[in-house]
């Protein structure tokens, strides 16, 4: 069982959308998703020489799909956006 709770993270309206199977933006993801993201990020840099940007990655686990967008803000700055959907 994960200590990350989507109901607490989303609030009532977001949680209802999540329960209906829609993608909902969240501000955090569980630690295991962070670990997977870090592995992807490091592998991408090793293979291509620069960090990923304008790329979407999806991870599944705990009955939830997690989508991560790597958005380029400036030349050296990335922003990550997180979304979840019930699988």
Would 1 be classed as within a structural domain? no
Q: Which parts of the chain register pLDDT below 50? A: 1
CA distance 86 to 56: 18
Rounding to the nearest 10 degrees, give the CA dihedral for residues 34, 80, 61, 37.
-40
Q: What is the pTM of this model?
A: 0.81
pLDDT (0 to 100) of residue 81: 92
Would 66 be classed as within a structural domain? yes
pLDDT (0 to 100) of residue 47: 94
pLDDT (0 to 100) of residue 22: 93
pLDDT tens for each residue of 54-75: 889 999 988 899 999 988 888 7
pLDDT (0 to 100) of residue 59: 93
**Domain span holding position 13:** 6-86
Would 26 be classed as within a structural domain? yes
> Exposure pattern of 47-77 as b/e (b: 16+ CB <10 Å)?
eeeeebeeeebebeeeebbbbbbbeeeeeee
Q: How many domains does the chain have?
A: 1
SS3 assignment, position 75: coil
pLDDT (0 to 100) of residue 1: 43
Pair of tokens at residue 13: 């309206």
């Amino acid at each position: 069982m994960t200590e990350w709770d989507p109901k607490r993270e989303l609030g009532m309206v977001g949680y209802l959308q999540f329960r209906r199977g829609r993608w909902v933006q969240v501000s955090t993801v569980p630690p295991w998703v962070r670990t997977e993201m870090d592995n992807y990020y490091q592998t991408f840099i090793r293979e291509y020489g620069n960090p990923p940007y304008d790329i979407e990655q999806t991870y599944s686990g705990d009955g939830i799909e997690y989508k991560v967008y790597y958005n380029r803000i400036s030349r050296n700055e990335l922003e990550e956006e997180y979304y979840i959907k019930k699988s």
